Amino acid sequence: MRLVLVGPPGAGKGTQATLLAASLGVPHISTGVLLRDEARAGTPLGEQVAEVMATGGLVPTPVTLGLVEQRIAEPDAAEGFILDGFPRSTEQAEALDALLAPHGQELTAVVLLDLPDEEVVRRIGGRRVCAADAAHSFHLDTAPPADPGVCDHCGGELFQREDDRPETVLRRQQVYRAETVPLISYYEAAGLLRRVAATGPVAEVAQRIRAVLPTG
Ligand code: AP5
On whether residue 15 sits in a domain, the answer given is yes
Report how far residue 38's alpha carbon sits from residue 34's, in angstroms, rounded to the nearest whole number.
6
pLDDT digits (tens, 9 = 90+) for 141-179: 999 999 999 999 999 999 999 899 888 999 999 999 999
Residues lining ligand 1, judged by CB closer than 6 Å?
A: 7, 9-15, 31-32, 35, 52-53, 56-59, 64, 85-86, 88, 92, 123-124, 126-127, 137-139, 142-143, 163, 172, 201-202, 205
- Domain range spanning residue 57? 2-114+166-212
On whether residue 141 sits in a domain, the answer given is no
Query: Could you tell me the distance, in angstroms and rounded to a whole number, from the CA of residue 125 to the centre of ligand 1?
Result: 12
On whether residue 203 sits in a domain, the answer given is yes
pLDDT digits (tens, 9 = 90+) for 83-142: 999 999 999 999 999 999 999 999 999 999 999 999 999 999 999 999 998 788 999 999
Domain containing 179 — which CATH number? 3.40.50.300
On whether residue 151 sits in a domain, the answer given is no
Name the phi and psi angles at 159, rounded to 5.
Answer: -145, 165
* Number of domains composing the chain: 1
On whether residue 33 sits in a domain, the answer given is yes
Report the DSSP pairing between strands 127-130 and 137-139. antiparallel
